[in-house]
């Protein structure tokens, strides 16, 4: 009977593990920051800014306002002219951003990853500290510090099913190794993590690809403007993809999904076998009892 009790305990533990995996899948598939109001972040208008590919330079007064904002909120870490700051102990307080360009500034400011309160922490998505006009001015000033990537002209309107599928192929080849095939994020080296793309706006996707924030590589000529539009459209599609194969389980990948299927399939079978075995043992012991 002791062996039967151990069997039931193992079976229940297995079923509990399967439930935990299901809950984990739901958490991973959730937004990166539950306090973030959602997909409205990162919609700063770019028409006429002079920081999008092919546009003329922004007005001097816009750059001047951005410089004033930069001195107040950014210069303590990045220096007055974006040259970076190193402490007396040799530790870098903030990297140089002279060649970051408008693309990097747009990405970091619209996603709220900058300014950064703790320089040792990985920047995470949060509501922006600046309004649209302030972000526009800051981008213009950062862009004036050197030569960096401009904000790409992203256009996902008119992307058909075939182009969306092509965007999925490019995404899986270049982005999925870090962000996962479902765009829910993943672990990186040195305690870092690739963020979830659940709240990423198309223009934020484009600026990240062109600027390479954090540990992300810069994709310049590797991705054409058409491919970039398709990838941005595919990331938008991943917000609410179709699941013809069944329950998505947080879209955390085939291995966790297979584990859940194994546990939910084999777990009840083991319970049934244990129940049958216990009944047979009881019947056997009853026959042997004088």
Q: Which of these, 72, 97, 73, 103, lies nearest to 85 by C-alpha position?
A: 97
pLDDT at 77 exceeding the cut of 70: yes
> Which of 17-31, 95-109, 115-129, 253-267 is predicted most confidently?
95-109
Each residue's pLDDT tens digit, 143-179: 999 999 999 999 999 899 999 999 999 999 999 999 9
Mean pLDDT along residues 120-125: 89
Contacts of 277 (CB under 8 A, 6+ apart): 4, 7
Question: Strands 193-194 and 186-187: what pairing?
Answer: antiparallel
CA dihedral in degrees (229, 233, 238, 244; nearest 10)? -120
The CA–CA distances, whole Å, from 202 to 15, 43, 221, 286 equal 40, 9, 19, 71
145 class by beta-carbon count within 10 Å (0-12 exposed, 13-18 middle, 19+ buried) = buried
pLDDT at 259 exceeding the cut of 80: no
Least confident of 12-21, 147-156, 198-207, 229-238: 12-21
Confidence band for 54, pLDDT divided at 50, 70 and 90: low
- Residue in the structure block whose two tokens are 């995470």: 124
pLDDT the model gives residue 117: 82
More confident residue, 111 or 290: 111
As a whole number of angstroms, the distance between CA 179 and CA 209 comes to 13
pTM, to two decimals: 0.73
More confident residue, 18 or 206: 206
As a whole number of angstroms, the distance between CA 140 and CA 150 comes to 10
Contacts of 57 (CB under 8 A, 6+ apart): 50
Query: What are the two backbone dihedrals, phi and then psi, of residue 52, each rounded to the nearest 5 degrees?
Result: -95, 150
Half-sphere exposure of 276 (CA within 13 A, CB side): 6
> Which of 6-10, 141-145, 252-256 is predicted most confidently?
141-145
pLDDT the model gives residue 190: 79
As a whole number of angstroms, the distance between CA 9 and CA 68 comes to 65
Kindly report the CA angle at 139 between 136 and 145, in degrees rounded to 5? Answer: 145
pLDDT the model gives residue 228: 96
Rg (CA), the chain: 26
């Amino acid at each position: 009977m002791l062996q039967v009790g151990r069997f039931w305990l193992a079976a229940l533990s297995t079923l509990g593990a399967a439930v935990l995996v299901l809950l984990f899948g739901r958490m991973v598939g959730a937004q990166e920051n539950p306090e973030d109001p959602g997909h409205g972040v990162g919609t700063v208008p770019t028409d006429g800014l002079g920081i999008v590919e092919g546009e003329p330079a922004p007005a001097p007064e816009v750059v001047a306002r951005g410089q004033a904002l930069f001195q107040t909120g950014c210069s303590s870490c990045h220096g007055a002219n974006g040259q970076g700051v190193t402490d007396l102990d040799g530790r870098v307080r903030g990297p140089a951003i002279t060649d970051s360009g408008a693309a990097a500034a747009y990405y970091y400011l619209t996603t709220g990853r900058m300014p950064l309160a703790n320089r040792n922490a990985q920047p995470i998505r949060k509501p922006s500290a600046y309004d649209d006009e302030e972000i526009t001015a800051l981008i213009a000033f950062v862009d004036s510090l050197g030569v960096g990537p401009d904000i790409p002209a992203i256009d996902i309107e008119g992307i058909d099913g075939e182009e969306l599928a092509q965007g999925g192929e490019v995404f899986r080849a270049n982005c999925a190794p870090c962000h996962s095939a479902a765009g829910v994020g993943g672990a990186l080296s040195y305690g870092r993590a690739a963020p979830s793309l659940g709240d990423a706006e198309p223009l934020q996707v484009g600026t990240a690809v062109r600027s390479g924030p954090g540990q992300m590589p810069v994709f310049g000529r590797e991705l054409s403007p058409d491919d970039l539009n398709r990838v941005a459209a595919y990331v938008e599609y991943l917000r609410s993809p179709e699941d013809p194969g069944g329950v998505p389980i947080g879209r955390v990948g085939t291995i966790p999904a297979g584990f859940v299927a194994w546990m939910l399939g084999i777990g009840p079978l083991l319970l049934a076998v244990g129940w049958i075995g216990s009944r047979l043992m009881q019947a056997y012991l009853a026959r042997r009892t004088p």
